[in-house]
Amino acid sequence: MTIERRPDGALVFFMHVPLWTSLVVLAMCLGFGCVFAYGLFFEDTTSVRYRGIDAGFSLDPWVWKALFLVGTLGMLAPAVVITLGLLRGGKPHVRMDERRLTLGGRPIASDVSVRWDDIASTERYRIQHAAAIKVRARQGKNIHLSAHTFPVKGEFETLCHEIETRVGRLGRVQA
């Protein structure tokens, strides 16, 4: 079970993102980045002519190089971020103690904490046929949680019920 009750009374819900999804996105970013890098570093000229396709304008070679550079950076940057996240590791979790709700342990993003009395609203919605919840604080912080990242069925509903109960008891949510 991925719910842990700590000695101080805090509840910790551990999240899970399958490794294969990160690897597929990493491979796609690296693949497209290499295609753009190939266009940036190599010039292939052929005698093939396309008929019937005339946009009426032509781009200078330096514009093409700039576009390929933007494409290369745009694809390799997420690949580097994903790789750093995989190397850093960490156990993403949601921690609920007496004073605050904390989303922490994510590989690249910093931890986000919201005090129970600072929560302005909670909103339930769906993402790709799975339940999700948005916790909005008065300071402008938002915490989005989705059932996709909780491996045990029913655990996300337990988390949402616990959040809504604590917000109703400890917070000042305006309906």
**What is the per-residue pLDDT across 44-62, written as a single tens digit (0 to 9) for each?**
665 555 565 666 667 788 8
Query: In this predicted structure, what is the pLDDT of residue 61?
Result: 81
Q: How many helices (H) and strands (E) does the chain have?
A: 3, 8
- Global pTM reads 0.65
Query: In this predicted structure, what is the pLDDT of residue 74?
Result: 96
Phi, psi dihedrals of residue 102, rounded to the nearest 5°: -125, 130
**What is the per-residue pLDDT across 83-137, written as a single tens digit (0 to 9) for each?**
888 887 778 889 998 889 999 888 777 889 999 888 888 999 999 888 999 999 9
- List of residues 6+ apart from 76 with CB closer than 8 A: 29, 30, 33, 37
What is the dihedral sign for C-alpha 124, 129, 130, 134?
negative
Residue percentage of the chain with pLDDT more than 90: 27
**What is the per-residue pLDDT across 13-24, written as a single tens digit (0 to 9) for each?**
888 877 888 899
